Structure 1
């Protein structure tokens, strides 16, 4: 895989000077943070963690006519602390698509695409920062973020009523295996300053690793997010509910997961402030209840420049409820809850 990565990177860099008719850009993000935990399950208080997934990628477009553009994007993700690839079996982990875009009819991309849920309720970078310490992905239920063999459509903005701007997005997957259901999603975004509202539905289908031709389980999720943008300040709330079903393979329990978050983002010159509270509940139909997770986090960004940031974050996390059992709480003795404080001092450079 290392030789494949080197070959692909070298080939892309070699071809860039020949792409005079297209706009091609190399981009990337590198960040790491010393992380201290007061009460880690494995007993390791200090470790080196990434604040968000480290990556580099290529994106480009070419004008084909007055109202038509071709575009592509490839993005590779890796662990900066070890240099290891994030997905050993997949070169372009997060994004790998090509498509056409029209200002009149919207954009259609094909390949390994983002899902509707990841696109419209993914959150800002500031929210991702305050959600990175502790139980991550506590804002979006159990939706899949990416889909292979996918089609993703995003309409242009239009105004159906008054000044209300609206955009529709949808994804649909063509599975590689016969008789596997087609995952799909549909979402709507509404904008009328200073109010923003997103809502969507997503049907996910998972394949069993031991029997790739069989469905492991299915999941239906609906999600919504609303924000009020005051200019210097933005308040945002999200809610998601996921319901799992059995597929062909019967040894996987079903589940119900609900997540909610409330966040405040503020900007003060070179400083950006993020404050977020999240709650996560999960239960499966065999009667097993997962721990209830409550988290509160405060994060600051200091922008040394447009590309370089200093990012200290502190988060308090509590695991409790009926699902927090003595045999699985990591301490070897009965406790009503587990509390942990995360202190993360991050540094990021983008290019």
Structure 2
């Protein structure tokens, strides 16, 4: 009898111990390792802080390393337009500069495919491949960004690598969403809500917050500047679109809301961090690039490169940032490639050296 009790007691003890270990494991499973670091940017208790996990930050850092730069051969010698045929954008460069940029672009965009990704070899001047037509326009877009959108990119600038990262198609692009209404049109269009999408961090928010703001010019706000009924024409639905865009921006930059907003008043510009102004220009830059450069290429792209509604790929914050608050961790991409400025600005920059 004593042996039975002892055996039962031992078994119960082991079960209690196992259960305790299981519960402890479940508790610890909800904790992050290593302990996240908090970087405070406002008064204590205001929630003005950025939270970073060193393990996750290391991965983002590794993914945002800039590529090696081929040294410039200088501007001496004949111009590319004098030596090569059908050079429509970069003909003002020396042959050495032109070839360096072409080799760099190959490594930035199509390292596996090589020159043949854009060119109908051996006829380099042939424009029959859509990729060459698009690439030429993308060079012009890059010059436009570096020259005309410095309120957002500053002197850091961009190159093809900023978006492409060695891939022919950037891994962060978007198409118009094919929203499905509820069971019948009687219920109206649910605007992509309750269709979990990584675009909005798998939330129930509208899964295409880009069309209204990065293609259209809708107001990005949650409430109007005046009270009802005379001035506040903002709706809950518009607020949900805004939350969707803000969720995307937070994820794309790897930051939380207080990177751009002050918790005392998210709406008040006077007390907002300077990053909010930079983001304001970034939204308008993305809209400009989508409307001026991407949408006009709709007929150039083949069907397999378009979205479900027949539109071309477009850019959002993640296209450049890819999880870093500054693309490529703030590496100064444009300084080594003045040819990716508009020609007049590039000439002035070279003359100033």
Same fold (TM over 0.5): no
| TMscore range, shorter length | under 0.3
Please report the TM-score for the alignment, with normalisation by the length of structure 2. 0.21
Bigger radius of gyration, 1 or 2?
2
Question: 1 or 2 for the larger relative contact order (CA 8 Å, sep ≥6)?
Answer: 2
Structure whose residues are more often strand by fraction: 1
